[in-house]
Structure 1
Amino acid sequence: MAFKKIMLFLHRWIGLLSGLVVFIVSITGAIYVFEKELFALFHPSYVTVDVPEKASVLPLSILKANAQHVTDHPVNIIRVPATAGQQETYIFESLKRRPKNDIVGVFVNKEIIYWDRIFVDPYSGRVLGKIDVETNFFWIVRQIHQFLYLRRDIGSTIVGSSVLLFIITLLSGLFLWWPKNRKVAVKRLKINLSTKWKRLNYDLHQVLGFYAFLVALVIAATGLVWSFKWWETSIYWLMDGKRPNMQIEEPKAPNNTMSEAGATSLDLIWSDVVKKHTVHQGVFINLLHEVSQANATIYNKGNTGWSASDTHAYDLRNGKHYFKRLQNDKTLGMKWRNSNYDIHVGKIAGRTGMWIAFVASLICASLPVTGFCIWYGRKFKKKKLRS
């Protein structure tokens, strides 16, 4: 009995301490699960195109040059849709972040110096639209979700600590819910909608909390990766015994005279990517102009349950391939880390998994609310009885 009282004490006060942050993080997380789909819903002209009868995609260098015309900053990110997504636009981005030691501001995260996202029709080469990602609704939602819109080092600590406390409330809540026998268990798995408000609120708290327990635990555990380096390192250690080397080496200086990165090198790179992966689920190309390097990550379906991807590195000066990291060559820890985001938002299980993550996130948001109502109702009742 004494242990149960301790668990109840922890569940109640830790829940009250972390409740507001958990509510904010859960609501914003639920919104962000369908970020891509919602953006397409509100900006259909940016993300979809009419496919001509004789569909022929223009060279990547031409599409990049067209995107470069509408931004004052160098394009350094290219997102190519899946081979099945012929009606989708190509996305070009100009992104520059501040150095990690260059702390700016206190309350608002000023990590980004500039970030333009440009949508280009791959068949006509026409620029369909441009957004400033910093002021985009979904980026703001993500900043609130990860950092409460505070500076990264402050916000991630608050969010991560609150999520850790939330995990404790989940575990203690399961202990408090656990029934003595099957008859009681059946009763605790049902919500009586016709009962009084206080009882209904209590049922919503414990029954929904039980149903969402496993998914909520996975979402919370995967989310901690972005808050605490020690958490990420611990998972690497459990899976691989050490933190694997994820670095990609820079290209060596050629013997001949170096030339500026041009359209030809980018087209050579893209030609090699297409040759290696005739079918893919999307390609992310990171152009590191300062070191004449291009990293291309090609996403594949895979058949192992992980989010599969192969990474190839090219010399931007001549388009030559010099490095590869294939899915089959990755350690278990690498496969997990590359899949962590998809696990976090349920994408690892397709659209069904995303809906499960969405509903679970809403339930997680409701738990601090219903829990507070239970605590307040009991405290108010005690005061009323004393008076």
Structure 2
Amino acid sequence: MIKKTKHSLKNFVRIAHLWLGFSSGIIVFIIAITGCIFVFQDEIKDNIYDWRFIEPQEKIFVGPATIFDTIKKKHPNSKPTMVVYHNKTRPAVVEIQIDNTPFNIHLNPFTGKIIHEQNLETDFFLVVERLHRFLLLPEKIGKQVTGIATLIFMVMLISGLILWWPKKLKGAAKHFKIKMNAKWRRKNYDWHRIIGFYLILPSTVIAITGLAFTYEWVNEGLFKIGNITNNKPTFKEPSSFKNIKSASDIALDTSLIETQNLIPESGMLFVWNRGNGEPIVTGSYPDALEFDHQSNFYFHPENGRLIATQYYNDKSPGTRLQEMNYGIHTGQYLNLFGKIMAFLTSLFIASLPVTGTLIWWGRKRKNKNKKISY
């Protein structure tokens, strides 16, 4: 009776696994393949775009006010609000809208001169990112489609583990390796089962961190998990200032200088004019193009006086976990090793819908041949 129940359970799981795969396989394949391409986007772009580098100079950076003014002169209808400064070998970057099209304006941070205007709608890697996150659909629709497919994929990891689980532990060793001297169908079957098993942990990490970009409840969940043992009070941003519509030029430039003085070794920082009397926010990172270990500072929008600090080490574990989410998802947090792991994990995930379909097709063909011979 127990054996019959176990057999019925596995049969149910097998059918569920099959139909879940049919419903999400092509989407999971697209998400995984585009993830592979996107992992090394910075390294590839650094080798093909010369405008991503500038000649370093022993000068201070021009202030945000000068950068914004330069952009407004060329694009009068634009409304630049944030500038990102990198190290001395990379241009500063400002995102604006030009005729309802998003552009990244790259400028020499020592002179304020525009060196490149990057159309974000036609940039190859950003198209890949939109395909990865939204399948090139409108964001509200696309993120739900990819989000649901990712949730189904996580359920399939569990059902796949149930199907993989050996009946007897004595012969479990064969469940951990691919039989390379077998026919291609057996090798494909082993690949699907065994690679799927080895992928459970890394693919779960990638899936959860990806879902944090789609669903606020997942992102909030990371915050709560990180803060389980934290007793620090939650940081509260300074209130806005009444009767101040936008930050002054002096305040913007002062916020840059003060942030550089507070963290001289910064590899990347931004200055953000949020307007409507909100404090100017700056962020400092240890390395260029790496979005973790962020420290934030808040300045008075009229005179640039420092009114609050939030160094990385003072942030709650939950906040730090949220901020390192991108680095974990892309492997960037563990540098080259992490990126290679993220690339391989994504590549192997992409293989699962393919090998799974081949297993289904092979069984269907086998059953069809049996009926014909009968």
**What is the TM-score of this pair, normalised by structure 2?**
0.86
Of 320, 328, 341, the residue aligned with 1:343 is 328
Which residues of 2 match residues 1-387 of structure 1 at below 5 A?
Answer: 1-43=7-49, 45-52=50-57, 55-60=58-63, 61-72=65-76, 73-81=78-86, 85-94=87-96, 113-180=100-167, 184-240=171-227, 248-253=237-242, 261-291=247-277, 293-300=279-286, 307-387=292-372
In structure 1, the gaps of 5 or more residues are 97-111
Q: CA distance change for structure 1 residues 222 and 39 in 2, over 3 Å: closer, same or farther?
A: same
C-alpha RMSD of matched pairs (Å): 2.8
Distance 2:52 2:339 in 1: 21
Q: C-alpha deviations, 1:191-224, integer Å up to 9, x for none?
A: 3445322122212212322232211110001111
Distance 1:248 1:8 in 2: 51
Q: Is the 8 A contact 1:307 1:342 kept in 2?
A: yes
Q: Is the 8 A contact 2:91 2:106 kept in 1?
A: yes
Distance 1:364 1:176 in 2: 17
Count of residue pairs the alignment pairs up: 358
Could you tell which deviates more after superposition, 181-190 or 27-36? Answer: 181-190
Q: Is the 8 A contact 1:77 1:95 kept in 2?
A: no
Distance 1:183 1:38 in 2: 48
Q: CA distance change for structure 1 residues 260 and 308 in 2, over 3 Å: closer, same or farther?
A: closer
Q: CA distance change for structure 1 residues 286 and 324 in 2, over 3 Å: closer, same or farther?
A: same
Q: CA distance change for structure 1 residues 56 and 13 in 2, over 3 Å: closer, same or farther?
A: same
Give the secondary structure class of the aligned counterpart of 2:241: coil
Distance 2:151 2:62 in 1: 48
Distance 2:363 2:293 in 1: 50
Match of 1:101 in 2: none
Q: Is the 8 A contact 2:242 2:277 kept in 1?
A: no
Identity of aligned residues (%): 28
Q: CA distance change for structure 1 residues 67 and 47 in 2, over 3 Å: closer, same or farther?
A: farther
Q: Shift of the alpha carbon at 1:386?
A: 0.7
Q: CA distance change for structure 1 residues 41 and 71 in 2, over 3 Å: closer, same or farther?
A: farther
Distance 1:179 1:229 in 2: 38
Distance 2:221 2:250 in 1: 44
Q: Is the 8 A contact 1:58 1:122 kept in 2?
A: yes
Distance 2:292 2:153 in 1: 27
Q: Shift of the alpha carbon at 1:349?
A: 1.1
- Tell me which amino acid in the other structure corresponds to 1:91: V
Q: C-alpha deviations, 1:349-384, integer Å up to 9, x for none?
A: 112101100110011111011101101110121112
Q: Is the 8 A contact 2:210 2:329 kept in 1?
A: yes
In structure 2, the gaps of 5 or more residues are 1-6
**What is the TM-score of this pair, normalised by structure 1?**
0.83
Distance 1:145 1:65 in 2: 35
Q: CA distance change for structure 1 residues 250 and 68 in 2, over 3 Å: closer, same or farther?
A: farther
Q: Is the 8 A contact 2:96 2:104 kept in 1?
A: yes
